[in-house]
C-alpha cells in the first residue's frame, strides 16, 4: 500500500512540474507573439514590461518586497522613453 502511495505522489509531482513548464512556455509564446509586429523601440518596452512582470511574479512567490523591482522598472522605462525622444 505504501509503495502505491509513493508511486501516486511521484506521478502527481511530475504532473505539477510538467504543468509549470507548460505555463512558462505559454507565457513565453504570448510574449514572442506580441513582439512580432512591433518596432524596435516598442519591442524594447514590451520586453522590459514582460521582464518586470516575471520578476514581480517570482518575488511574490518568494514573499519578497517588490519595491526595488518597481523602482528599477520605472527608471528603465523612463530611460527608454527619453532615448526615444532624443533619437
Q: Could you identify the residue written with the cell 516575471?
A: 54
Q: Could you identify the residue written with the cell 523612463?
A: 78
> Which sign does the torsion angle of CA 87, 70, 50, 54 carry?
positive
Which tens digit of pLDDT belongs to each residue from 30-43? Answer: 877 777 777 777 88
- What was the pLDDT predicted at 82? 87
User: Mean pLDDT across the stretch 15-38?
Assistant: 85
> Which sign does the torsion angle of CA 43, 49, 50, 55 carry?
positive
Q: Is the pLDDT of residue 87 over 70?
A: no
Q: Is the pLDDT of residue 73 over 90?
A: yes
Q: Is the pLDDT of residue 74 over 80?
A: yes
What secondary structure letter does DSSP report for 36? T
73, HSE (Cβ side, Cα atoms, 13 Å): 17
Amino acid at each position: 500500500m505504501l509503495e502505491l502511495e509513493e508511486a501516486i505522489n511521484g506521478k502527481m509531482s511530475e504532473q505539477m512540474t510538467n504543468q509549470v513548464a507548460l505555463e512558462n512556455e505559454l507565457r513565453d509564446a504570448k510574449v514572442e507573439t506580441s513582439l512580432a509586429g512591433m518596432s524596435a523601440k516598442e519591442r524594447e518596452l514590451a520586453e522590459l514590461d514582460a521582464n518586470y512582470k516575471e520578476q514581480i511574479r517570482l518575488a511574490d512567490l518568494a514573499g519578497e518586497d517588490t519595491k526595488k523591482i518597481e523602482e528599477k522598472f520605472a527608471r528603465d522605462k523612463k530611460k527608454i522613453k527619453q532615448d526615444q525622444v532624443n533619437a
